[in-house]
Every structure is written in C-alpha cells, then in structure tokens.
With several copies, the nearest count.
Chain A
Amino acid sequence: MWSFIHKLGSPPWFFRFSGNVVKWLLPVTIAVLFVGAFWGLLVAPPDYRQGNSYRIIYIHVPAAVVSLAGYYVMALAGAISLIWRIKMADIAMKAAAPVGAVLTGIALVTGAIWGKPTWGTWWVWDARITSMLILFFLYLGVVALFEAYENKAAAAKACAVLSLVGTVNIPIIYKSVDWWYSLHQPASIKFTGESAIDASMLYPLLLMITAFYGLFALVVMMNMRADLVWHHRQSSWVRQWAGFE
C-alpha cells in the first residue's frame, strides 16, 4: 500500500500508470454514459406529474453528487501535498478544482432550467440549492486563488490550505443552511427530493452517476497528464514518449 502511494509520487511511473488506466476507463465510461443516457432519455417512462421535463435529472443529479465528492478528492490531495510534500498531489488538486467547479455549475444551471417548468421560477433559496451554491463558491475561491499566484508551486500549497479549511467548513455549512431554511419555513415551494423514485427511473440514474464518476476521474487524470508533460517537457521520459528520442 505504502509503496503504491510512494510510486504514485513518481511522475514517470504515474504517467505510465494513468496512461493504462485511461486506456481502460475511457471506453467503459463512454459505454456506460451512452447506455445510461439512452435508457434515461428515451426508454424510461415519463413522470406522471412533470412529464418529460424531469429527464434532466439524468444530468442534474449525477453532476450534483459527483461535485460534492470532487471537493473531498481535492481536499484529500491538498492534505497529502501539505503533509507528505508529494508533488503529484499538487498536480491532482490543481486538476480537480476546475472540473469540480464546472460540475457544480452544471448542477446549478440544470437545476435552474428544471426549476422554470416545475416551480415557475429559475431560482429559490431552498436549503439544498443554497448549499450547492456555496459549494460552487468554495470551488471558485480555490480556482481564483490558484490563478492569482505567480509561483505555481506556492499556488498549489495555498490552495491546499484553503481547501482543507473548506472541508472543515462543509459539514457546518450544510447543517447551518438546513437549520436556517427550516427555521424560516418559507412559502409554498418545496423540494420533492424525498419522494420515492420508481425503479425504472432509478437504474438509468445510477448508471449516469457511475458514468459521471468515471468522467470526473478521466478528466482529472488527463488534466494531470497534460500538466506532467508540460512540467517535464525537458526530461527524457517525456521526450521518449513524444517520440523525440
């Protein structure tokens, strides 16, 4: 186990390893994505209340679920980079932040698009939506901080600190937003998140969630590989890989 982590820290080894992973993960993810999308968008029955507009959950829900997990992945990488000073963790964190931000953005935008037909409004200050928005802000903060640093090695460390502070805060934010919402008991509109979902709709959703996890891993890994190639453009293993030597 330890030696595996140690090996992960070595750029050439990781480059080869991730190359193999991508080779397998890419076709599998695309297959799952297609099956899930086909099933969800065309095969699954329409909702008895919302008609076909509900089908947006096949993007909305996976994006929301994976974006939350993405933050923890990022923070974990940050912790590793701060504690063990493994450069690969820096690169992983840098790669994960924008992907997570985009996923969160997708969840927000699809949610808003969905809200228009269901609630008649683009936006409400529901507890879950509000937490999601704040998660989006946390991501944007990390991305903005990274961009602002001139020294990218220092930038990664700074983002590691920020995302760790954010991780400590996420449960608190979620809890506090929940309490805030239940205290104010606002008007009519309510999230129907609790309503049971039919199995014929659930399976494609699970497939789509799996596919989104795969996509997240893929994009992050490819991001990291691009970064590695750029960073080590002078070294022999990159030049060999590129066919220059």
Chain B
Amino acid sequence: MSLLDAKDVAIERGDRSLLRGISLSVEAGELWQLIGPNGVGKSSLIRALAGLARLGVDGDICRSAAALYIGHSSALKRALTPVDNLRCHPACDVTVGDEQIAQALQSVSLAGYESVPVGALSAGQQRRVALARLLLSDARLWFLDEPFTALDAMGCEWLEQQIAEHIQLGGAVLFTSHQQSRFGAQQHNLDLSLYVSA
C-alpha cells in the first residue's frame, strides 16, 4: 500500500495557475526528489502534499502515514536552548526522553551547545537543530524542502545518510534540492517543468 497518493493535483497561487496534472504514488522505501527551476512550484507542491496548504490545491491527495515536514523556517524558538526546543517540539514524539535528545544533538555535532539559546547559533547550526528532529520523530513520511541549505559538506553527508537509512527502514522521503539527483539511481525524479500549466 502506498504511503502517499496524489491524483491529478493542480496548484494555484494568488490568481495564477502554476502546475496541473500531477499524479504520484509514494511507496514505502521510496525516495522522491522534486526538480525544477526557481519559482516553478516545488515548495508549493510539497506543502500541498504534506497537507499544509489547502486553498488553491485541486485534486485528490491521500496520505496514509504520519508526516514530518521541514521547510524553510526552522520552527525553533530563538530564546530556548536546543534541548528545550527539541523536548517541546510539536513534531517530536511525546515520549522522547532527555537521553534521546542528547544523542540527537551529538549526532548533528552540536554537543557542547546544549545550553546556548538557538538565536545565538549560526545559520548552519540552527539548521542542524531543526534536522535533529529527524531522529526524534516516528513519522514514516518525510517532506523536506531544500534541507541541504546552509549545511557544510559534513552536514550534507550526515543528512544523506539519515535519508538513506530512513528509506531502508521502510520510510519514504520527498525532498527538493537544486542539486540534481543527489542519490543517483536510487531516487525517483519528478521534474515539475513538465507540469507547468499553460
């Protein structure tokens, strides 16, 4: 059974119709990259698929697994420390314990920053805190909008590894990135330029 089924989706923003006729079905273990130039509608589509946008979205979108969405904004409170941010985060599992959080921060190489307010971290460090949620959520379906932004080479490698692992464990990932085919043959590409309306 597929985790996400979209049939004949059309997207409209403001008054302009952006995309139409998009159908896809994401199975467990699949990795999808949305491809297209600036402004084609990647972010709009991924939000629609995640269920965040409803106005201006036509067609059937049926999601049958819990979703984790990480977009441009980090959903972090600047005044709180990374630990507090992760502990109280709506996207994290309610049962997440302090140890798991410490491990997650370790994994994104932020050990030592546990008690610095997130507002005083660098751009890439903030992104790492946001991405630490990947380790703390039990959602099977990940929606990642340009997740590689602001990460250094090591950070990108880490993220690629997380995605690969998640897929092996039976999850599914939809992501956008301006670097073509990050995962080679392993991934499915959805080129949105083919669906631009009119």
Contacts and interface: CB of A to CB of B under 8 A. Distances in A.
A150 B55 contact: no
A56 interface: no
A61 to B, nearest CB: 41
A154 B119 contact: no
A153 B57 CA distance: 12
A153 B117 contact: no
A82 B55 CA distance: 12
A151 interface: yes
- The A contact surface, by secondary structure, is helix
Interface residues of B, number: 6
B120 A154 contact: no
B120 A150 contact: yes
A150 B119 contact: yes
Nearest to B17: A234
Interface string B119-136: 110000000000000000
A152 B14 CA distance: 8
Contacts of A151: 14, 55-56
Contacts of A157: 55
A151 B55 CA distance: 9
Interface string B13-45: 010000000000000000000000000000000
Contacts of B55: 151, 153-154, 157
A87 B120 CA distance: 23
B117 A150 contact: yes
Interface in A137-182: 150-151, 153-154, 157
B82 to A, nearest CB: 16
A86 B117 CA distance: 29
Interface in B33-76: 55-56
A150 B14 CA distance: 8
A157 B14 CA distance: 15
A153 B120 CA distance: 15
Contacts of B119: 150
Contacts of A150: 14, 117, 119-120
Interface of B: 14, 55-56, 117, 119-120
11 contacts: A150-B14, A150-B117, A150-B119, A150-B120, A151-B14, A151-B55, A151-B56, A153-B55, A153-B56, A154-B55, A157-B55
Given A154-B55, A157-B55, 9 more contacts: A150-B14, A150-B117, A150-B119, A150-B120, A151-B14, A151-B55, A151-B56, A153-B55, A153-B56
User: When A and B form their complex, which 8 residue pairs have the shortest distance between CB atoms, in order from nearest?
Assistant: A153-B55, A154-B55, A151-B55, A153-B56, A150-B120, A150-B119, A151-B14, A150-B117
